[in-house]
Amino acid sequence: MSDILHAEVMDNASEETKRQFEYIEKAKGYVADLAKELGRTPKACVVTFGCQMNARDSEKLIGILSKIGYEITESEEADFVIYNTCTVRDNADQRVFGRLGFVGGIKKKNPHMKIALCGCMMQEQSAIEKIQKSYRHVDLIFGTHNIFKFAELICTAFESDRMIIDIWKDTDKIVEDLPIVRKYPFKSGINIMFGCNNFCTYCIVPYVRGRERSRSPRDIIREIEYLANDGVKEIMLLGQNVNSYGRGLPEDEQISFAELLTEVCKVDGIKRVRFMTSHPKDLSDDLIKVIAENEKVARHIHLPLQSGSDEILKKMNRHYTKESYLNLVEKIRKTIPDVSLTTDIIVGFPGETDGDVDETIDVVRKAKFDNAFTFIYSKRTGTPAASWEQVPEEVSKPNFDRLLKVVQETAKEQALRFEGQTHRVLVEEINEQDEKLVTGRMSGNTLVHFPGDKSLIGSFVDVRLDECHGFYYTGTMV
Ligand code: SAH
Ligand code: SF4
Ligand code: F3S
């Protein structure tokens, strides 16, 4: 658990950062008053949906909440509950509405309780309208562009009994150096860019996260140096398409993702570097070379395929073909033989036929993915594909099932290739099912369970991979 605020950072903090620190001070007063009233420290709970970006944003929310005096809890039986939402597929939306109904019941018993909603779903007007109409017990709503104002918004919520809604359409503002509390002391995500400019025709992310903005390389390296000093050993560089990092930076800061990765690896104390996500259209030979030559870079590339059919890829606006994707995979596997390749695939995109899914399955067989996240296409209002003729479930569901079968077979075969070898793992936690075991993560991202105790958490150890169980191994420390 850590707090990135320190004197040196404060010296060169921007005006906005300073303003937010004034609100943090003010909010501390409000929380202290509440503590007096309750006769105990007030509790706050942040529930996170969605991707690594949201997970990182939640660490920023928890940073502010801790700073102003809340005790952080995992239970929604709290004095302040914040839902950090995702809207990439409809089921993500439905889960949030489900939680809101549930927490409404808790609030009935504790009228002083405050409920906030933020994140991607809040960038959609229709979601806001539904909440205003049917979920009146929500106190505060904000979006993905003004999360840095959280302390200010909390102050407003303490000062008013009305539902506060503050959504920004977009911003080019990046506010640095606010408090962050990490979930893991030994590993951390780092935003290197925000937003997305790719507009894949099925995807809502560019609409809810806004235009692509890269963070200054100096700020990124400074944050990573701070984290390394604070005990972080593994970092994950985060962006919707990290391969286009650097576009739009001022001339004196121009740097490619491959160059940034090289610089990041030079930071003392950082032992392993991951990144997420790579768009196949922008993955450069330079990047493959940097990964191959730099042991610190994890042997894992997540390379979303989405579809193996050229016609569907074109309609999706993905800017690559089945052939160019497979050539890229071949190049990667040749240059980095021990790499794990994972992917995302969508089934049921408008116009998709059984023949198109055959093409996708063919790519899965040829690319030999170590793992693949498969999704049924979900119609997102506002995206181009939403207005095209949709594929009925009777067609997409059987296609999804036969794709999943091949994905599982391939993943199992791939996992077997490391059995009997010894690999370096970062120990992350005590095994959930058996407390005599610990769980570690290999460079390729696969999990390994082996005998050990909590003193190992946060350290790198060598483990022999005794037995492969499909998606994970059991092993022995050597
Ligand atoms: N920027 C990342 C993806 C972020 S969203 C990239 O381009 O790789 C994560 C995954 O959700 C996507 O890769 C895609 O497979 C899936 N996804 C996005 N929109 C979807 C939709 N409308 N329906 C189903 N799956 C979707
Ligand atoms: Fe969505 Fe495509 Fe951007 Fe990924 S690259 S976030 S799938 S629009
Ligand atoms: Fe979801 Fe937003 Fe991430 S829509 S997948 S939380 S960028």
- Residue 3: per-residue pLDDT: 47
Ligand 2 atom 5: residue of nearest CA: 198
- Residue 12: per-residue pLDDT: 55
Query: Model confidence at 175, in pLDDT bands (50, 70, 90)?
Result: confident
Whether residue 2 has pLDDT greater than 50: no
pLDDT digits (tens, 9 = 90+) for 29-67: 999 999 999 999 999 999 999 999 999 999 999 999 999
Q: Report the b/e string of 363-398 with b at 16+ CB within 10 A.
A: bbeebebbbbebbbbbebeebbbeeeebbeeebbee
- Is residue 95 classed as helix, strand or coil in its secondary structure? helix
Q: Kindly state the average pLDDT of the residues 72-79.
A: 97
Cα separation, 137 vs 414, whole angstroms: 49
Q: Kindly state the average pLDDT of the residues 103-129.
A: 95
Distance from the alpha carbon of residue 214 to the mean position of ligand 2, in angstroms: 16
Of 26, 137, 20, 27, whose CA–CA distance to 76 is shortest?
Answer: 137
Phi, psi of 459 (to 5 degrees): -115, 155
- Residue 303: per-residue pLDDT: 98
**Structure-token match 């993943």, residue found:** 411
The pLDDT mean for the chain works out to 95
Which ligand 3 atom is at minimum distance from the Cα of 240? Answer: 7
CB 114 within 8 A of CB 153: no
- Residue 471: per-residue pLDDT: 85
Half-sphere exposure of 212 (CA within 13 A, CB side): 18
Cα separation, 7 vs 9, whole angstroms: 5
pLDDT digits (tens, 9 = 90+) for 236-251: 999 999 999 999 999 9
The percent of residues above 90 in pLDDT, for the chain, comes to: 93
Ligand 1 atom 1: residue of nearest CA: 240
Q: Tell me, using a 6 A CB cutoff, whether residue 203 lines ligand 2.
A: yes
Phi, psi of 390 (to 5 degrees): -85, 155
Cα separation, 137 vs 162, whole angstroms: 10
Whether residue 71 has pLDDT greater than 70: yes
| Residue 277 CA: distances (Å) to CA of 209, 243, 254, 274, 475 | 15, 8, 21, 10, 29
Which ligand 1 atom is at minimum distance from the Cα of 241? Answer: 1
Token pair belonging to 91:
């089921």
| Residue 311 CA: distances (Å) to CA of 335, 355, 382 | 29, 11, 22
- Residue 177: per-residue pLDDT: 85
> Strands 193-194, 140-142: parallel, antiparallel or unpaired by DSSP?
unpaired
Ligand 1 atom 8: residue of nearest CA: 304
Cα separation, 68 vs 50, whole angstroms: 26
Give the residue with greater pLDDT, 170 vs 392.
392
Please give the CATH topology (third level) of the domain spanning 187-416.
pyruvate-formate lyase- activating enzyme (3.80.30)
Distance from the alpha carbon of residue 337 to the mean position of ligand 3, in angstroms: 31
- Is residue 256 classed as helix, strand or coil in its secondary structure? coil
- Residue 420: per-residue pLDDT: 96
Whether residue 440 has pLDDT greater than 60: yes
Distance from the alpha carbon of residue 26 to the mean position of ligand 1, in angstroms: 40
Distance from the alpha carbon of residue 462 to the mean position of ligand 3, in angstroms: 35
Q: Kindly state the average pLDDT of the residues 371-381.
A: 97
- Is residue 422 classed as helix, strand or coil in its secondary structure? strand
Query: Model confidence at 439, in pLDDT bands (50, 70, 90)?
Result: very high
- Residue 13: per-residue pLDDT: 64
Task: Judge: domain 12-166, CATH 3.40.50.280.
Answer: yes
Which ligand 1 atom is at minimum distance from the Cα of 204? Answer: 19
Q: Kindly state the average pLDDT of the residues 325-354.
A: 97
- Residue 170: per-residue pLDDT: 82
Pocket test for ligand 1, best of 238, 344, 377, 404 (most atoms within 8 A of CB): 344
Which ligand 2 atom is at minimum distance from the Cα of 199? Answer: 8
Cut 0.85: pTM above it: yes
pLDDT digits (tens, 9 = 90+) for 359-373: 999 999 999 999 999
What are the boundaries of each domain within the chain?
12-166, 187-416, 422-477
Q: Kindly state the average pLDDT of the residues 88-107.
A: 96
Class of domain 422-477: mainly beta
Pocket test for ligand 2, best of 241, 244, 378 (most atoms within 8 A of CB): 241
Query: Model confidence at 141, in pLDDT bands (50, 70, 90)?
Result: very high
Q: Tell me, using a 6 A CB cutoff, whether residue 206 lines ligand 2.
A: yes
Distance from the alpha carbon of residue 317 to the mean position of ligand 2, in angstroms: 10
Query: Model confidence at 152, in pLDDT bands (50, 70, 90)?
Result: very high
